[in-house]
Amino acid sequence: MDLDFTSEQDILRDSAAKFLANECPYDKVKEIEETEEGYVPELWRKVAELGWTGLLFPEEYGGYDGTFMDLIILEEEMGKAVFLSPFFSTIVQCGLIILEAGTGDQKKDLLVQISEGSLIMALAQYEEDVSFLPGSLNMTAGEDGGQYVLNGVKLFVMDANISDKLIVVAKAGDKGLSFFIVDANDPGLTISKIPTIGKDNSCEVIFKDVKVPRENLLGTPGNAEKVLEIVNAKAAVAKSAEMVGGCKVSIDMTAEYAKQREQYGKPIGGYQAIQHYMANMLLAYDTVSNYLYKVACMIDEGEDYLTDASSLKACANEKFTYISERAVQIHGGIGTTREADIALFYRRAKTYDTSCGDTNYHFERVAEKLLTEGL
């Protein structure tokens, strides 16, 4: 396993860092958080022009045949910048589902539009009173002649409020969980943002007699549970990359503050308690950062990564929470205010904890594998 970055990946990281620093400083992030859209369309167009929206997809679908490690590098830089955009929902979640489950025509239609930045999509998966397991989902798609009819509620649908289309997970009769492509402007849909500590585009989507023609079934009926297992694991790794980026900036920002903030005549970084906190934060970061790159390499090299993806996400949840909490503690009272940049990462740690499965869910996945198959 080669864990060295290529020269192209180094260039990708540097260019992404410079672009995000110039186009989306933390003051602008705070402004975007307060808007109903939760992103900037002009900035999204610039992202598409850079080729980020097509990075992960084959050239035949307008993409650049990038590796999963390329995606991880981008996601990590986005995590450092707290970049607010539909990148994760559109490219990572929906894009990978289409790539795994779609027909040839569907891939040519949808992935080309995603690659050029003209199509924003959201995954409507989770429901009230169900676990993160795809098999626990209850929404059904009733058949009515040559079409399906969707009724029910989906929660925590990221970026549904700005999406052009949704990928909806529902049971298609006795065929099992399936994917349905639904226009976000369908009159049977009611989309509303859910207030969260992360001030993100997490939405509730209510379906009332939403009619979906058979050609809008993504791939074959009953394919969703298997595909979701693959895609949710990859998405968990991608989200972990954002969290690793947040860990890095939280440490750098806190170290700089500890050198400047004085108490009792000297910088607080000179006190042993603060030094121990900072050392433990760095150890936590090194642990999850190295693990992230290992799992990304496993995906690129075709190894079995499902258990490691769960282990990584559980680790990222814990480390990001620990690092951001200690960072706020070292900053003191100012760290809890809206004005302090460190608060951006503290709030993201709380929000990202449940994205693609919370810590308990992933621990259960790892424990199940150990008890049934061993190491």
**Is pLDDT at 84 greater than 90 in this prediction?**
yes
Evaluated on CA atoms 99, 101, 107, 111, the torsion sign reads: negative
Output the six-digit token pair for 316.
């990222």
Question: Measured between alpha carbons, how far is 273 from 162 in angstroms, rounded to an integer?
Answer: 46
Please name the residues in contact with 318: beta carbons below 8 A apart, sequence gap of 6 or more.
359
Which whole number is the average pLDDT over 59-72? Answer: 96
Output the six-digit token pair for 76.
């990590």
Do residues 159 and 189 touch, judged by C-beta distance below 8 A?
Answer: no
Per-residue model confidence (pLDDT) at position 1: 63
Question: Measured between alpha carbons, how far is 127 from 130 in angstroms, rounded to an integer?
Answer: 6
Q: In whole angstroms, what separates CA 267 from the centre of its chain?
A: 37
The region of weakest confidence among 113-122, 216-225, 262-271, 366-375 is: 366-375
The conformation of residue 164, written as its DSSP 8-state character, comes to S
What are the residue ranges of helices labelled H in 107-201? 112-115
Do residues 313 and 352 touch, judged by C-beta distance below 8 A?
Answer: no
Per-residue model confidence (pLDDT) at position 157: 97
Per-residue model confidence (pLDDT) at position 146: 84
Helix (H) or strand (E) holding 178: strand 177-183
pLDDT, mean over the chain: 95
Q: What is the pTM of this model?
A: 0.96
Question: Measured between alpha carbons, how far is 9 from 49 in angstroms, rounded to an integer?
Answer: 18
**Is pLDDT at 6 greater than 90 in this prediction?**
yes
pLDDT band at 375 (very low <50, low <70, confident <90, very high): low
**Is pLDDT at 2 greater than 70 in this prediction?**
no
Per-residue model confidence (pLDDT) at position 252: 98
More confident residue, 205 or 338: 205
Which whole number is the average pLDDT over 239-255? Answer: 98
pLDDT band at 144 (very low <50, low <70, confident <90, very high): confident
Question: Measured between alpha carbons, how far is 71 from 181 in angstroms, rounded to an integer?
Answer: 25
Interval 333-346: pLDDT, tens: 888 888 899 999 99
The conformation of residue 355, written as its DSSP 8-state character, comes to T
Per-residue model confidence (pLDDT) at position 163: 98
Question: Measured between alpha carbons, how far is 344 from 27 in angstroms, rounded to an integer?
Answer: 10
- Rounded to 5 degrees, φ, ψ at 254 are -70, -40
CA 229, 286, 338: angle at the middle one, nearest 5? 85
Interval 217-226: pLDDT, tens: 999 999 999 9
Interval 7-52: pLDDT, tens: 999 999 999 999 999 999 999 999 999 999 999 999 999 999 999 9
